[in-house]
A and B are shown apart, each in its own frame.
Chain A
Amino acid sequence: MTNYLLRRSGQMVLTLFLIVTLAFFLVQAQPGDYAAFYSLNPDIPAEAREQIKASFGLDKPLWQQYLIHMKNTLTGNFGVSFGHYPRPVIEVLAERLPRTIVLFLSATAVSFYLGFFLGKAIAWRRGGVLEYAATISGATLFTAFTPAFALMMIWIFAFKLGWLPVGKFLDPLIWRGAEVTANHVFSYMLATAAAFVVFAFLTLLVARKSGRFATGRLPFLIIAAGAVAIPVAWAFTGIGYLALDILRHMILPIATLTLISFAGTMLLTRNSMLETMREDYVMAARAKGLPEKVVRDRHAARNALLPVITSLVYSLIFAIDGSVIIEGVFSWPGTGMTLLQAVRSEDLPLVMGAMVFIGLFSLLAHVIVDVLYVYLDPRIRYQ
């Protein structure tokens, strides 16, 4: 296991290195002068341009520029945003990141679960009406023109039915008196989610180690207790109503993202299930007289999950990609919107920074998936 994780981390460091290199050479390769982008922006004072040039080593030979770029990036110096001058790029991105993570991790989790659930259902009842319905609607939603579709969702649920807010991530009227910033709440939400995941993970791990109550309900009851404890704890923080407001604003984007992205996971799960369903241990499980649902969920689906989990990376990356559009339509100021605005306003340092951040984010996705994989597949865990 250690070997596996070491090798994967090595690959990731390499990937990060390549992303940074790619960013550098893309800027180099674009028509026009690399230096010009950094130095010709009329909003930047003339002397500041010189300074920027020097700090990026634009007067030096290419390979030295490259080394400087690499050093800058690795030390978190992405330069200064033109559009937010003189805020450092890293600060702008750090402000947007929690929002993107909260929204897109939840959306990916929901869509992954839905896709997996449907996938295993349609594989199990192959050829049923459900399969046709799910495949066609899944593929249609998957290829639906996202901006129009997202807008339609807003129109229906926020405007016509009036159930949910029209975009944004909070309601100013609720937040007016709040003493904390939204990012504060986002960070607490993230921390809570992380704590809960760790808690659930540890509970399951302990359960598995002790072997005793592995099949019992106790661990689930403990996790349920944890789940109940969270809102109760939040209620006492005094900012619970703010978190609730954010959650309310998250429903529609999450629903939209889920609808457009569940099909990928669903169809993959279906194929993976069809393959595992032919395995002898599934037949054995059935022969053992286990209830159909146990055979399906604990044996077929549990094994089918392994290749599907690998695709979670792509689901996450797909979500990041979707964020460029979804964030715009839902007025959700995350990294995707930042990237698009930076591109439109030619805020090149911010573009590069956002790209590296998004690259980092997808690396993070790889890490999460690797850890999950190790947890889920004993064959790797015990190697």
Chain B
Amino acid sequence: MGEGTSLFEDAPEIDLSRGRLDLALVRLRMAWRTLRDGWAVFVESRIGVLSLAIIAIFALMAFSHPILMATVWTPDVYDPVTGYAFDRFEHPSPPDWRHPLGTDSLGRDILSQLLFSTKSEFILGITAALVTVGIATTVGAVAAYYGGLVDSLLMRLADLIIALPGISLLIVLSALFNLNLFYLALIIGVLGGFGGTAIILKSQALSIRVKPYIEAARAAGGGHFHVIFVHIIPNLLPLSLLYMMFTVTGAIFAEAVLSFLGLLDIRMSWGIMIHTANTGGYLLAGANYWWLIVPAGASITLLCSAFYLVGRALDEVVNPRLRRHDR
């Protein structure tokens, strides 16, 4: 994965004196071209496209919750946490048209919980991914650009972090601190950002650093920050995108596991849904109470593997050596 395609390989052709707007325009045009080419490679992966479709469906689900709550669902009945299905006498009750996924053991609508949680999972995953990638690209670029002591320090830190088992560490943290969704995202993001992702982005940044246009930019009087943020980091973005996908998978999975163990301080999530089913003793009930476990369980698996597989497909876009033979 060391060397990938660069977004702006031909960037040095740009005359730096031509002003930022032009530069931005050219960059935009080239980014668009790269995107189009990348997309062409991406769509070749049937798994990747399928996974992207799954993510899109989940995104729609996330958006649908507030809309449904504002229109057809009354909070009394459909609130994911405090709702109660008055129209039933027994809970958990099986699906019907009013509660398409039935209700949980506390009489709350499962579909509403699922949709509500989808939103949280997206927020969690994307926050974690943005934090990871934000830190990792900066760390990677800085380490590669300055080298020497800065590089050694940052990379030793990364070595340390990847040596830590993540879930175990989060469990310990949950014992010491009161973790809510935001802190969880932050911690996962920071661990990822200073850890493995930083190492990979650094090696990519190294290969960018030796490209002639970086020399050109420096010769043209670009300061360190200018070079790092305008020339190196944008070229790291494709690879960063790839690692965002993996971070999302990791974050959602970690949340589910910690919630399942009852260690997080949140009111509703897919993990909590399974936790509720489990403490109610329905985890073993399988077929009889499938709607308590399957929607949340399948969502975790589907969304996690979708992000993971999109990442894998992106890998083939970003890393040409994985592509099929081609002339």
Contact = CB atoms under 8 A, between A and B. Distances in A.
Interface stretch (B67-75, B84-92, B221-229, B249-257): B249-257
Contacts of B40: none
Given A26-B173, A26-B176, A151-B283, A19 B164 contact: yes
Contacts of A362: 163-165
A140 B164 contact: no
A15 B260 contact: no
B300 A30 contact: no
B309 interface: yes
Contacts of A322: 167
B257 A30 contact: no
B172 A26 contact: yes
Given A148-B274, A355-B172, A363 B301 contact: no
Contacts of A340: 171, 261
Interface residues of A, number: 54
A363 B162 CA distance: 11
Nearest to B169: A355
Contacts of B174: 343
Interface string A286-325: 0000000000000000000000000001100110111011
B175 A143 contact: no
Interface stretch (A231-239, A244-252, A270-278): A270-278
B32 interface: no
Given A135-B309, A339-B171, A30 B163 contact: no
A188 to B, nearest CB: 28
Given A15-B159, A320-B165, A143 B304 contact: yes
B297 A145 contact: yes
Contact of B168 (A11, A18, A148, A320): A320
Nearest to B174: A343
Contact of B308 (A15, A142, A155): A142
Contacts of A271: 1, 315, 319, 322
B202 interface: no
A230 interface: no
Interface string B280-309: 000110100000010001001100110011
A265 to B, nearest CB: 14
Contacts of B217: none
B154 to A, nearest CB: 13
A127 B46 CA distance: 10
Nearest to B162: A314
B182 interface: no
Contacts of B162: 313-314, 317
Contact of A346 (B165, B175, B315): B175
Contacts, number: 127
B301 A145 contact: yes
A146 B173 CA distance: 21
B312 interface: yes
Nearest to A152: B286
B163 A15 contact: yes
A275 B301 contact: no
A14 interface: yes
Interface in B212-241: none
A127 B45 CA distance: 10
A324 B324 contact: no
* Main secondary structure on A side of the interface with B: helix
A144 B301 contact: yes
Given A155-B286, A274-B321, A324-B171, A140 B176 contact: no
Contacts of A27: 176
Contacts of B257: 145-147, 325
A133 to B, nearest CB: 11
A177 interface: no
Interface in B131-185: 156, 159-160, 162-169, 171-178
B58 to A, nearest CB: 14
Contact of B293 (A26, A148, A358): A148
A351 B305 contact: no
A14 B159 CA distance: 10
Contacts of B61: none
Contacts of A358: 165, 168
Contact of B253 (A22, A143, A351): A143
Contact of B305 (A132, A143, A363, A366): A143
A265 B11 CA distance: 37
A291 B293 CA distance: 49
Interface in A60-107: none
B263 interface: yes
A145 B312 contact: no
A303 to B, nearest CB: 14
A148 B164 CA distance: 25
Given A139-B305, A359-B164, 8 more contacts: A132-B47, A139-B308, A151-B283, A151-B284, A155-B286, A318-B165, A343-B175, A358-B168
12 contacts: A14-B156, A27-B176, A30-B177, A126-B324, A140-B305, A143-B308, A145-B274, A147-B260, A274-B321, A278-B321, A320-B165, A343-B174
The 9 closest A-B pairs by CB, nearest first: A143-B304, A30-B176, A343-B175, A139-B305, A321-B167, A321-B165, A143-B305, A320-B165, A362-B163
Interface of B: 1, 46-47, 156, 159-160, 162-169, 171-178, 249, 253, 256-257, 260-261, 263, 274, 278, 283-284, 286, 293, 297, 300-301, 304-305, 308-309, 312, 315, 319, 321-322, 324
